[in-house]
A and B are shown apart, each in its own frame.
Chain A
Amino acid sequence: MPETGGSSETPGGAAPTFLHDARSLQRKLVEEYYRDLEANERPRRPVAYMLVGGNLAEILRSFGFEVVFPEIVALNCAIKHQSLDNILHAESLGYGLDVCGYVKNDLGLQDLGGKTSFGRIPRPDVLVCSFSGCYVYVKWWEALAESYGAPLFMFDVPYMREEVPRKEDIDYLVGQLWELVHFLEQRTGQAFDMDLLKRVLIESRRAEDGWVEFLRAGRLRPSPIEAYFESIFYMFPINVLRGTPEAADFYDVVNTEIRARVRDQTYPLPEEKFRLLVEGVPPYTNYRAFWDFFRKWGAVSVVATYPKVGGLFDRGFRHDPARPFESIAEYSLGAYVNQSWPLRRKIIADYVKEYQADAALIHGIKSCRSFTAGQGDLRDWLIHDQGVPTLYIESDHEDPRYFAPAQIKNRMDAFFESLEQRRAVAIAGGRTPA
Chain B
Amino acid sequence: MPELLQLRPPGEGPEGGEAPPGIEISPDFREFRQAESVDQMVRLAREVLADPTFPTVRAWRSAGGKAVGCFPVYTPQELVHSFALLPVAMQGGGENLEISRADAALGSFLCSISKSTLEMALTGRLDPFDAFVFPYICDVSRNLDGIFTRILPQRPSHMLHLPQNFTSPATIPFLVAEYRSLIRKLERVAGRPFSESDLRASLEVFNTQRALVEQLAELRRETPWKVTLQEYYLLLRLGGLLPREVHIPLLERALSELKRRDRKNKDAIRVIVIGPFCEQPTLELLQLVEDVGLYVVGEEFQMLHRWCPQITIGKDPLQSLAAAYVRTPVDIGVRSTPTTKGAAVLSRVDATNAQGVLFLTAKFCEPALEDVVLYRRALEGRGIPYLHMEFEEKSTTYEQARLQLETFVESILFD
Contacts and interface: CB of A to CB of B under 8 A. Distances in A.
A binds B: yes
Interface of A: 93-96, 98-100, 103, 131, 134-136, 138-140, 142-143, 145-146, 154-156, 158-159, 161, 166, 168-169, 171-172, 175-176, 179, 340-342, 344-345, 364, 366, 368-370, 372-377, 380-381, 394
A210 to B, nearest CB: 31
Contact of A340 (B108, B145, B170, B363): B145
Nearest to B376: A94
Nearest to A377: B105
A332 to B, nearest CB: 12
A179 B373 contact: no
Main secondary structure of the interface of B (DSSP, over half): helix
Interface stretch (B89-97, B281-289, B335-343): B335-343
A176 B168 contact: yes
A340 B109 CA distance: 20
B325 to A, nearest CB: 13
A94 B361 CA distance: 13
Given A98-B364, A98-B369, A143-B373, A380 B149 contact: no
B371 interface: yes
Chain B interface size range: 35 or more
A175 B161 CA distance: 17
A342 B150 CA distance: 8
A133 to B, nearest CB: 8
Counting chain A CB atoms within 10 Å of each CB, which of B136, B149, B165, B167 scores highest?
A: B165
Contact of A377 (B150, B341, B365): B150
28 contacts: A94-B376, A96-B369, A135-B137, A135-B138, A138-B336, A139-B333, A139-B366, A139-B367, A142-B341, A146-B374, A154-B165, A155-B165, A156-B165, A159-B161, A166-B177, A172-B163, A175-B168, A179-B167, A340-B146, A341-B143, A342-B146, A342-B150, A344-B146, A364-B108, A370-B143, A372-B107, A373-B143, A394-B108
B146 A176 contact: no
A374 B105 contact: yes
A375 B108 CA distance: 11
Interface in B208-227: none
Given A158-B161, A376-B104, A135 B147 contact: no
Nearest to A362: B107
B370 A95 contact: yes
Nearest to B338: A154
Given A136-B139, A172-B171, A369-B110, A142 B374 contact: yes
B363 A146 contact: no
Nearest to A158: B161
A372 B114 CA distance: 13
B374 to A, nearest CB: 6
Counting from the closest, the 9 A-B pairs by CB-CB distance are A341-B146, A175-B170, A168-B177, A370-B139, A172-B174, A156-B165, A139-B370, A94-B373, A373-B143
Given A166-B177, A340-B159, A373-B140, A103 B107 contact: no
A273 B199 CA distance: 61
B373 A341 contact: no
Contacts of B150: 341-342, 345, 377, 381
A173 to B, nearest CB: 8
Given A154-B164, A154-B165, A176-B170, A135 B146 contact: no
B372 A94 contact: yes
B161 A154 contact: no
B165 A146 contact: no
B249 interface: no
Contacts of B61: none
Contacts of A95: 369-370, 373
Contacts of A380: 104-105
A305 to B, nearest CB: 14
Contact of B164 (A156, A166, A345, A366): A156
B363 A135 contact: no
B173 interface: yes
Contact of A138 (B164, B373, B376): B164
A368 B142 CA distance: 13
B170 A341 contact: no
Given A136-B370, A340-B145, A377-B147, A154 B174 contact: no
Interface string B44-57: 00000000000000
A135 B341 contact: no
Contacts of A100: 366
B373 A93 contact: yes
Contacts of B110: 369, 373
Contacts of A372: 107, 109
A375 B107 contact: yes
